[in-house]
Structure 1
């Protein structure tokens, strides 16, 4: 495969790909506007922070996958990729520890006023009395909004500081995550009102989606106690910056932020943000995942996803329909030989039935293997169609399930 890396990556990890015969093209200088002109002949595009617009997919002639070297995929036009039949995959969880470490660093910096104290020392001022009023972290209450890979890592570190932890109820958490939360004694709240009202600290770890953008608005902040601390190391768009500015000015709240709205795509010495420059904000430059350890882990994850793709397995795909599609499912037991599946699909096509999802599994056995094809289709097939399928040579049986 020809693989274009349009952002910086640990090139030491690329040897495995090149040894397998892949051509790795590393061009970290490319911008979002450059990509469309360099996508010809590329089969996989790997990006980190570079935006991938729809015209990239329109210009591509061989592109099969866009791989985000990180967790969030909000910088990629996933709908555009889906339109052109291109997978969008990511490398989740590899930077979780790095982001969690920065989250705790911001919390400590806010509580102990470390940046202001350092600035005074650099300028030759010994203002010890100004920095002796920190509250401390033991026994304080933290609400974690977004209990994914990063959120649970934050929970582990916060628990070590003696912070009491809480989260919002969700019905879709895995058994492993629930067990981890139970061990950490995380209190589950049924609604936003009770979660936020009990929190001295709120730490946000959510992806940027239409549902989460602007989530931390005036109503959200009003539910938090006066003087509370807001931490955001996820995406700037999740916070209504105007509402937060008012809360900082009027209610004594403080914030530790790694992300902001309107961040420049690269270095910009003249970038200004009312929120970033506010005296009650401790901030960093969207560097939560930017540690050597995280970069190496992400590079390993990128290689693993690409090796799986080479072997025919698409992992960590974010634009694949996970829910079952179609109005009916046809299960066909058949002999594993050339042409059987083709005949089944041709019969469905002749009846005007569209195949939406299909899985064909080979069963272990003697020399002449059998297989089971599970086919989800656009409409319920007639008895005549089912009969035709059942009468095909090498078909052992046909069953219709979940008819709707």
Structure 2
């Protein structure tokens, strides 16, 4: 098969695919406007953050499959692909540990003011009195929203820090998820998101981008959270009402650890003007949750598995059509 990689991909994985007889081309510097001009000759497109528009999909005259090297597929026009019989597949769960590590890292950074500590030292300033203010994590109430692979990994790590953990009760929860919650132990259940916000000092969100999750972190939810509460979001930027979060940070001292933002660029290095990202109560990162060598190797392995299956006439992890 002719495979185009429009984002960075491990060289060892590309070499393995070439050894299997595939024609692989890496063009990680392609932008959204250039993709449609090169896609016509390829059977498979593999992307990470590159947006795949209807225009690009229609230009892919030979295109049969688009693989998102990760979980979320909100940057791909899945309906346009389905209309042309093109499979959109993802690689769920392989980067869960990396994203969970970042979520916990953001939480610790907020509690201990780590970025501000570092900034002061780099400016040649020593201020132990200012930075000796932290609550600590042990025993604090933390709610985890979204119990896919990432949410479960976050729960395991938060449990190790001694946090009091809460999740939303789901009577029809998958048995595998239920069993893992039992193994972690001590997790309390609440009836819904509103109760979770009222009970918890920390909320960590791990949900997909969807109609049901758009702006789920809104003014009403933030009003229910305690003064000085912490919001962690490593999922998608559109689940947060950014204006409401800014207001809550200004009025009640909410703090936020964010790896994702509304309208964030897909390009590697560009200007990004965001009132939320600039807010002093925000510790932000550049949507790097899955950007570890370990995670990328695991995701690459998943991509190879999808391609191997496709070569045999089977479809794995398709998200836009019944297979």
Category of TM-score, reference length = shorter chain? over 0.9
Q: Which runs of 5+ in 1 are unaligned?
A: 323-404
Alignment of 1:61-140 (within 5 A): 61-140=61-140
Deviations 1:209-236 (A, max 9, x none): 1221111110111121111100011111
* Higher percent of residues as strand: 1
Aligned to 1:234: 235
SS in structure 1 at match of 2:277:
coil
Moved more, 65-74 or 126-135: 126-135
Q: Which has the higher contact order (CA 8 A, sep 6+)?
A: 2
Q: 2-side partners of 1:286 and 1:57: how far apart? A: 25
Q: 2-side partners of 1:41 and 1:103: how far apart? A: 40
SS in structure 1 at match of 2:133:
coil
Indicate yes or no: 2:42 matched with 1:42.
yes
Contact 1:145 1:167 in 2 (8 A): yes
Q: 1-side partners of 2:155 and 2:239: how far apart? A: 20
Indicate yes or no: 2:55 matched with 1:59.
no
Alignment of 1:307-326 (within 5 A): 307-321=308-322
Aligned to 2:178: 178
Aligned to 1:23: 23
* Higher percent of residues as helix: 2
CA RMSD of aligned residues (A): 1.3
Contact 1:14 1:303 in 2 (8 A): no
Structure whose CA Rg is larger: 1
Aligned to 1:191: 192
SS in structure 1 at match of 2:278:
coil
Q: 1-side partners of 2:89 and 2:108: how far apart? A: 34
Q: 1-side partners of 2:172 and 2:321: how far apart? A: 19
Moved more, 65-74 or 210-219: 210-219
SS in structure 2 at match of 1:202:
strand
Gap change, CA 1:306 and 1:172, over 3 Å in 2: farther
Alignment of 1:145-160 (within 5 A): 145-160=145-160
Q: 2-side partners of 1:96 and 1:200: how far apart? A: 24
Q: 1-side partners of 2:148 and 2:227: how far apart? A: 27
Deviations 1:176-208 (A, max 9, x none): 110111222221211222211110100011111
Contact 2:50 2:267 in 1 (8 A): no
TM-score by structure 1 length? Answer: 0.78
TM-superposed deviation, 1:269: 5.5
Q: 2-side partners of 1:217 and 1:46: how far apart? A: 34
Q: 1-side partners of 2:208 and 2:219: how far apart? A: 20
Q: 2-side partners of 1:270 and 1:26: how far apart? A: 25
Contact 2:217 2:240 in 1 (8 A): yes
Q: 1-side partners of 2:222 and 2:153: how far apart? A: 24
Aligned to 1:255: 256
Q: 2-side partners of 1:110 and 1:198: how far apart? A: 20
TM-score by structure 2 length? Answer: 0.97
TM-superposed deviation, 1:112: 0.3
Equivalenced residue count is 322
Indicate yes or no: 2:163 matched with 1:163.
yes
Q: 2-side partners of 1:276 and 1:296: how far apart? A: 30
SS in structure 2 at match of 1:287:
coil
TM-superposed deviation, 1:301: 1.1
SS in structure 2 at match of 1:39:
helix
TM-superposed deviation, 1:268: 4.3
